[in-house]
Structure 1
C-alpha cells in the first residue's frame, strides 16, 4: 500500500488500479482517498459503475471521453466480476486508454491468473487489502485513541481486540463507543472495554465449542440461545461452528508439524491471539473427533436443505451430540 500512499501524496496517478482483498475498511478508505485526490470534488469528470452487468462498450466510450476543464477523468468500477470472468475487450482496450483517464477497480473476488489481473499489474498497480495482524491493528487503534487524547495499556488493547476481532470497521465503531463512554477521562481501562464493547459472535462460537469440548451441553445451549436472541440465524451459527472445527483441524495438523503460534497465525492468516486460543482447543480433540464433528456439520446442513430437520433443531442436535 506504500505505492498508493505515495501516488496520493504526489498527486501522480497510474492509468489503472485494482483494490482487492478481505479488508473492506481499507478498500473503502483508499477508494475514497483516491477519488478525493483525483477529482478534487469535481463530479463532472467522475463516473461510477457497479455490478456484474456493466456495459463494457459504455465504459470504454466514457474512458475515451476527454475530461471537461480538468486534467483527469476518474472511472470507478466496483464488483464487476471482470477479474473472475473473461473480459477480453477491456483487456485489449486498457493499453490504448488515454492518459487523461484513470480507472480504479474495487473487487471482492479476484483470480490472479486472469488476463485482467495481469494487465492491471502490467499497466498500473494492484493492491491487496489483507486483514491486518494484531500489532498493526493495535498501532492503528492506538493512533485513533491518541488523537482523542485517550491512553490505553497493552493489556487493555489486547482485551479490546480479542473482543472486537480483526475487522477494522468494527474496531472503528467500537472505538467510537469507548471514546464517548470515557468522556472526561484520559485512561481507558479493562472495565470500560468490558462495559461498553460488543463481544463478536465468533467469540461466543469459540465459547460454545469450548463447552462442547468440556461436555458442558447446558452451557453450549445457553450460548446458542444468546445468539438467537441477538438475531443470529441458525444457519449462520452452524456455518461458524463448522468453520471453527475446520480451523481446529488445520491448527492440529500444523501443530503436528511443529509450528508455533506465530507460524500457525501466518499460515492460516488469523491474528496470533486467535491462534493462541485455538491451539489448546486443538490439543483437547483427537483428529478423528474433529473430523467427525466436521462431517456432522455437513450432514446437519444437508438435513436442513432437504427438509428433514428445521435449522434450529439441526444446530441443537449438533450441540448435544456426543463424540
Structure 2
C-alpha cells in the first residue's frame, strides 16, 4: 500500500548526511530548488569526489530513454560502496513505465533518484508503483506566510543569524522563489563581512536602496496615507536605481505582498487570532503585526480589492502592456493605493 505522507526535506537531508540510503527515491513537484539541494547533499555524502567518474550518472529524461537508464541503475559500483544515478525530468523519459518493474526489485548497490519537475499522474504507472515502493516526497511551492520561517532556517543553515526586520524585508523582496531567496542570502553574507548576523541594512545595501528611501519606507508611507512622503520616496528610489524599469517591477511585487497582508487582516477569522497566530497568518514576525493592523484599519475590504486591481494593472503595464514611463505608472499606482483619508 502506498505511503500516504511523503518524506520531508529535513527527513531526506538528515538521512543522506548520515549515509542512511534507500535504493530508490522518487521526488516530484514544482519547487525544484529543494530537489536541487537534496541532489547535492546526496552526491556529497554518497560518494567521494574521486569516485564520481565511474559511479555517478546524472541524466535528463528528455535526452535518453528508459532502457538505457535502467542499465545504469543496474550497474555495479567500481571501487566505491555504491553507484548513484540521478534522473532529472523523469516525466519526459521515453518508456519510463519500465520503472514499474525496477521499483519491484531495485539494485541494492545503487542509489537511484528519480525527479519530476511537476506533480505527475500518481494513479498511473510508473508513478503509482514508485509512490508505493520508493522513498518519495512532493515539493510544493511555499506560501507567502511560510517564507520568513524558511529564510530564517536557511540562513541558520549557512551559519548566520538574521534580524527579524531583515527576514521580513527579504521575504517581501523575493516572494516565494526559493532560488532567488538563496541567492539574496549569499549577497547578504557578502555584505555582512565578518559579522555573524545579517541585518536590515545589509538587505538595503544589497538592493542598492538607502535607509531613508526604500520600498519598505514606501509601503509604510502608503499604509499611513502620507501621499507626499510616498511620492518623494518613490521618485528617489527610481532616481537612484541603475534600471528604473526593473526597480519599478520590484516595487510593485513588494507592494502586492504588502496589500495581500492587509487583505488577510480583513478576514473575519483574523479578528479572533492572537498576536502570534496573526503573525503566522500573514507571514510576518510578531514584532511587526501591530504596524500592519494599524494600516489595515485604514482600508475597507473594497479598498483592498481596488488596490489589488491597481497593482495588477501596473504589473501588466511594466511587463510589456504599455509604453508609459515607469515613473508615471508608479505615480498613478501610489495615488490609487492610498487609503481614502489622505494626509500630506
- Residues 1:144 and 2:159 aligned together: yes
| 2:141 pairs with 1:126 | no
CA RMSD in angstroms, aligned pairs only: 4.4
Q: CA 1:33/1:2 → structure 2, altered by over 3 Å: closer, same or farther?
A: same
Task: Give the whole-Å Cα distance in 1 for the aligned partners of 2:120 and 2:264.
Answer: 24
CA pair 217-128 structure 1, distance change in 2 beyond 3 A: same
CA positional deviation for 1:173: 4.2
Task: Kindly report structure 1 stretches of 4+ aligned residues shifted beyond 6 Å.
Answer: 200-203
Change (3 A) 1:289 1:136: closer
1:104 aligns with 2:113: yes
1:238 corresponds to which residue? Answer: 252
> Using the alignment, how far apart are the partners of 1:235 and 1:195 within structure 2?
22
Match for 1:6 among 8, 15, 18? Answer: 15
**SS of alignment partner, residue 68 of structure 1:** coil
Q: 1:230 to 1:293 in 2, by over 3 A?
A: same
Q: How is 1:79-90 mapped onto 2 (pairs within 5 angstroms)? A: 80=89, 82=91, 89=97
**Structure 1: where are the runs of 5+ without partners?**
146-151
Q: For the Cα contact (< 8 Å) 1:296–1:318, is it kept in 2?
A: yes
Tell me if 1:198 matches 2:204.
yes
The number of residue pairs the alignment matches comes to 302
Q: 1:214, CA displacement in angstroms?
A: 2.9
Compared with structure 1, are the counterparts of its residues 120 and 311 closer, same or farther at alpha carbon in structure 2 (3 Å cutoff)?
Answer: farther
Of the candidates 54, 57, 60, which is equivalent to residue 47 of structure 1?
A: 57
Asked whether the equivalents of residues 138 and 157 of structure 1 are also in contact (C-alpha less than 8 Å), the reply is no
Partner Cα distance (1:311, 1:109) in 2: 38
Task: Indicate whether 1:34 and 2:42 are aligned.
Answer: yes
- 2:331 corresponds in structure 1 to 316
- 1:35, distance to aligned residue in structure 2 (A): 0.5
Q: Which stretch of the first structure deviates more once superposed, 270-279 or 33-42?
A: 270-279
Output the CA distance in 1 between the equivalents of 2:94 and 2:275: 40
Distance between the aligned counterparts of 1:86 and 1:286, measured in 2? 54
- The DSSP-based 3-state class of the residue aligned with 2:58 is strand
